[in-house]
Amino acid sequence: MKAKKLILVTSESHPSHKPFLKVLEELSKELNIEKEIKNEDYAFLADYGEKDEFGATFLPQLFIETEDGKIIPVLTQMPFNPQKLEPDPEEGKKQALEKIKNVLAQ
């Protein structure tokens, strides 16, 4: 299976927007695949995204679309660095890359 593009569903006003954007940019460049940003697309999240315990969608979330049309979440919550007390985009990138590799290996 091959990757077609990365899709980030986000809101520019969300505190995790910049860390997710950094992960998107780095993975897109590293994997040499297209990227797409959807602003507050809750219909897309309702169809493909993770939901909380009440069934509500949340932002931001990063997905991969494969060439056969499957859309799979690869990073839905940014890891937190307890030493720096801030989001950890490097760890987020590692987690997303691991999920992408698992998806593409199928």
Share of the chain above pLDDT 70, in %: 100
CB neighbour list of residue 58: distance below 8 Å, 6 or more residues apart? 45, 49, 50, 51, 52, 76
Domain boundaries defined on the chain: 3-104
Structure confidence by residue, pLDDT tens digits, 46-69:
999 999 999 999 999 999 999 999
The topology under which CATH files domain 3-104 is: Glutaredoxin (3.40.30)
Q: What predicted TM-score, i.e. pTM, was given to this entire model?
A: 0.95
- The whole-number pLDDT of residue 32 equals 96
Is the N-terminal amide bond of 79 cis, ω within 30° of 0? no
Structure confidence by residue, pLDDT tens digits, 4-49:
999 999 999 999 999 999 999 999 999 999 999 999 999 999 999 9
pLDDT at 106 over 90: no
